[in-house]
Amino acid sequence: MVTADAPIVADLAAQLGYPSTADEIATRFEELRPRDDDEVLVATDADDTPIGWVHVARVVTLESGTAGLIGGLVVDDAHRSGGIGAELLSAAEAWARGRGVDRMIVRSRSERQRAHRFYERAGYVQVKLSHVFEKPLV
């Protein structure tokens, strides 16, 4: 990803269910950019226009060690079911493998049955169900 991709990446984030402005995406990207343990990979069409993205991170937790974490993966509605998501996922896994990661984690909302089938076809196995809690700090 480059900062100039922010408006289209924001549109794709909205398709994923996370409405964001281009400015918000650009600000988040600029914070992620210098990190060695985060990467945003973008798939583009023949005109170099983004049509999908994946955010992958190398995370270490005290209780379960090191893993690659898919923070988000989305392909534009008009380009789904053409293998782009699988290519993005494969690229994210290769990025993580190159950083010494030997397992991947992805979280997916319970209602996203199509996404669940996608990950299962890619070899991911559901290991638990969780509740997600959030508290604003402002």
Three-state DSSP state, 95: helix
Print pLDDT tens along the chain (138 aa). 999 999 999 999 999 989 999 999 999 999 999 899 999 999 999 999 999 999 999 999 999 999 999 999 999 999 999 999 999 999 999 999 999 999 999 999 999 999 999 999 999 999 999 999 999 999
pLDDT at 90 (0 to 100): 97
Q: What is the pLDDT of residue 106?
A: 97
Q: Which residues of 10-36 are buried (b: 16+ CB within 10 A; e: fewer)?
A: bbbbeebeeebebeebbebbeebeeee
Q: Report all structural domains of the chain as residue ranges with CATH numbers, in order of start.
A: 3-121 (3.40.630.30)
Please give the pLDDT value at position 47.
92
